[in-house]
Amino acid sequence: MESQQAPKGRFQIEPLEERITPSILTSSLTTSSSKTTNTKHPGPTDTQSTTTTTTTTVESSNPAGHQPPGQPNYTDTSTTTTATEIANRLAR
């Protein structure tokens, strides 16, 4: 059997212009709030509690401004509480 080759010039390949792939834009917003509470109780010391809440929101969009498939927006919230014993005269 004889192998057959495609005749030259059967397919014409033209170089295309350079293309830039659009990217997904991601924006992140982090907010933090803090609240201090003094708890009075009998004795030489009182309790001071500080609660810090941090919220991070991440949003994704394509160049057209729409949310891309498979890229959900999400919000992450974390809370930290710290309790400290302080002298009565400092708890106001």
pLDDT in tens, 33-89: 999 888 888 888 888 899 999 999 988 888 888 888 887 888 899 999 998 888 877
What's the total number of domains in the chain? 1
φ, ψ of residue 36 to 5 degrees: the values are -110, 130
* Residue 53 within a domain: yes
pTM beyond 0.85: the answer is: no
Query: What's the gap between Cα 34 and its chain centre?
Result: 20
Rg (CA), the chain: 32
Phi-psi region of 44 (alpha: psi -120 to 50; beta: other; left: phi over 0): alpha
Q: How far apart are CA 32 and CA 54, in angstroms?
A: 4
* Residue 86 within a domain: yes
Question: What's the domain range around 51?
Answer: 25-90
* Residue 72 within a domain: yes
* Residue 13 within a domain: no
φ, ψ of residue 90 to 5 degrees: the values are -90, -20
